[in-house]
Amino acid sequence: MKKVKFISIVVVFSIISIITPAYPQYTYTELLPEGANFSIAHAVNENNVVVGEYRDSSNLTKGFIYDNGVFTELNGPAYGINDNGDIVGQDAITNNGYLYSNGSYTPLFPSGWLWAEPYEINNNGVVVGVARQGTAQSGVNKGFIFSNGELIVPPLPSELSRQYFIAINDSGLIVGESNYDQMSFIYDNGAYTWLKFDPWTPVYAEDINNNGVVVGDLYDNSASFLYSNGEYTLLSFNAESINNNGVVVGNGQIYDNGNYTSLSGWGRDINDSGVIVGVVNNSTGFIAIPTTVVPEPISSILFVTGGAFLAGKRFFRKIT
């Protein structure tokens, strides 16, 4: 959004150099592995390494790592990556979850379950996701945690008939939801904090940063929200991710401390350097790297004669 401020200036025999503030722009790079006809970039770490998924020329779904212009193929869609380069995703053939680290795969799949889908891994190596117990027709989806080699499936609280663990921060706080029950929550070592914009409006939690700030959408998709210290702030677009600086990305927008900036695509993730990844036109992944416009001076000479003065008004435009 463009903000325009009017400033009255009273000057006596002076030359004023007005500097327009710098604002972020982005350099976009398409992320489409060779032979692919579809791709999505799901996550980016602080080293600007990107993970996602693509469909090859045979319409097989695969995962990818993108690192400084080089693609590496994975066994299935990759949804999360931490700053150590550990990656989580779902094998496209077996539907088992996987942890990919240093070139090796570790299965993330509760014994006897139907499928598992890990969503995120924090910098301590803790993974969260969802797995299905039972059959495709009568099974139950439950959130799971993988930590220090142990796969944990917490019991469902009485308020929920199923649950998904969506995201985790470095302190171990998890956000999740149950679409069936229209409830979202923060999970902290067995304790639930329920998220609801008001008694009549359930929410869908999408992400949580290291400050415990949560973003997500209202269930009716009329708006998104930012939740911090018990307070909700409404956002005017579908929010997907928040970084540790409080910058939010989502469907065609970036939100930063009350200011909106247009984004060419759907932002799926943003790191602390402001690098954004996502998908454009629902078909092609991208990485958007911020650049800074060098401020240009606007010089104005205002004269006063015979004890009179000239008061001027000038526009300052800030795009954030």
In the chain, the amino acid numbered 192 is Y
Mean pLDDT of 146-163: 93
In the chain, the amino acid numbered 184 is S
Flag whether 319 is in a domain. yes
Work out whether strand 248-256 and strand 239-242 pair parallel, antiparallel, or are unpaired: antiparallel
- Asked whether residue 105 carries a pLDDT value surpassing 80, the answer given is yes
Flag whether 223 is in a domain. no
186-212 pLDDT tens trace: 999 999 999 988 877 889 999 999 999
At 137 the pLDDT is 73
Average pLDDT, the chain: 85
Mean pLDDT of 92-105: 95
Flag whether 126 is in a domain. no
Flag whether 275 is in a domain. no
Mean pLDDT of 156-164: 93
Residues 6+ positions from 29 with CB-CB distance below 8 Å: 286, 287, 288, 289
Residue 159 gets the label, from left (phi > 0), alpha (psi -120 to 50) or beta, of alpha
Flag whether 44 is in a domain. no
Task: Single out the residue of 143, 103, 94, 150 nearest to residue 125, CA to CA.
Answer: 150
Residue 69 gets the label, from left (phi > 0), alpha (psi -120 to 50) or beta, of left
What are the helix (H) ranges across the chain? none
24-46 pLDDT tens trace: 789 999 999 999 999 999 999 99
Distance (Å, rounded) from C-alpha 186 to C-alpha 192?
Answer: 6
- Asked whether residue 221 carries a pLDDT value surpassing 90, the answer given is no
CA 149 vs CA 93, 99, 125, 166: distances in Å: 23, 11, 10, 20
Flag whether 216 is in a domain. no
- Asked whether residue 185 carries a pLDDT value surpassing 80, the answer given is yes
Task: Single out the residue of 204, 243, 246 nearest to residue 228, CA to CA.
Answer: 246
Half-sphere exposure of 292 (CA within 13 A, CB side): 8
Q: How many CB atoms lie within 10 A of CB 177?
A: 25
Distance (Å, rounded) from C-alpha 38 to C-alpha 56?
Answer: 8
At 181 the pLDDT is 84
What total number of domains does the chain contain?
Answer: 1
Question: Domain of 3?
Answer: 1-23+293-320
Contact 302, 9 (CB under 8 A): yes
- Local confidence band at 133 (pLDDT 50, 70, 90 cut-offs): confident
The pTM of this model reads: 0.83
Look at 275 and 223; give whichever has higher pLDDT. 275
At 296 the pLDDT is 45
Strand partners, 8: 313
Flag whether 1 is in a domain. yes
Flag whether 9 is in a domain. yes
237-278 pLDDT tens trace: 999 999 999 999 999 999 999 999 999 999 999 999 999 999
